[in-house]
Amino acid sequence: MGRDNPTHEAVPVGWWSSRPDRRGQPLPDAVLVIEVLALSNRRIAVVVGLLFFTQLVTFMIGSSLVQAYLDGETGRTSLSVGVLLEMVSGIAVVAIGVLMFRVLKTVDEKWALGYPVMRVTEFAVSAILAVYLLSQLQEVPNHLLWVYIPTGIGGLILNYLLFVSRLVPRPIAALGFVGYALLLLGVPLDLIGAVDLSSGAGLALLAPGGLFEFIVLPIWLIAKGFRAPVAQIA
């Protein structure tokens, strides 16, 4: 550096970085930033995909243990462990929201904030229901429907941002959007007795969202990760 800069003045770090490319030429700082963000988003994608699976497995096991207690097949320990696993599932839900915000905020920060807010709300509702269950030893009527509301709203926000940005292929985002819209539609229909989301034809309303959240999206995120966003919302 002494020969190149005989006055020993500080060389400012600007558009050009000292890191060389394959031809020995310096890479622009902007390129390095993109590389770092891509690596970070790739890790987030894998973690989020795994968290979706964690959410599913812990909730399924937990709810089955709770139901076994309510059916009189097991003791209080089964109930406690089941509720604990459901709370672990809820923590995974919150973590998904927080991590996805880091990616979605590059598309539209205001809209993106709605997703973790809804996921935290979902966990808060689940926690309130869990406290009631442990204290009263019975579930709140239509308890899952109250959880479905923030789940559905958050899902619509998520898939709207995924669709306009193309962070994932648009058919995946469209599947999720339809799935969560049907979930929200099913809540009032269940409350008025038109359908039962826990059985029969009502389960068909949950199928697209379940396919998206527990199979298609997590597998894509783990295998492929996020694409570079192609659009920002003005």
d(CA 151, CA 186): 12
**Per-residue pLDDT at 136 exceeds 50:** yes
Quickly state the pLDDT bin for 17 (edges 50, 70, 90): very low
Instruction: Name the pLDDT band for 40 (thresholds 50, 70, 90).
Output: confident
Q: Measured between alpha carbons, how far is 97 from 150 in angstroms, rounded to an integer?
A: 12
Task: Yes or no: say if 30 and 15 are a contact pair by the CB < 8 Å rule.
Answer: yes
The CA distance from 211 to 198, in Å, is 16
> Which residues partner with 28 through β-bridges?
16
Q: Which two tokens stand for residue 62?
A: 């937990």
pLDDT at 65 over 70: yes
Give the confidence band of 24 by pLDDT, cuts at 50, 70, 90: low
114-126 per-position pLDDT tens digit: 999 999 999 999 9
* Other residues' Cβ atoms within 10 Å of the Cβ of residue 178: 14
Residue 131 has pLDDT above 60, yes or no: yes
Mean pLDDT over 158-183 rounds to 97
% pLDDT > 90, the chain: 75
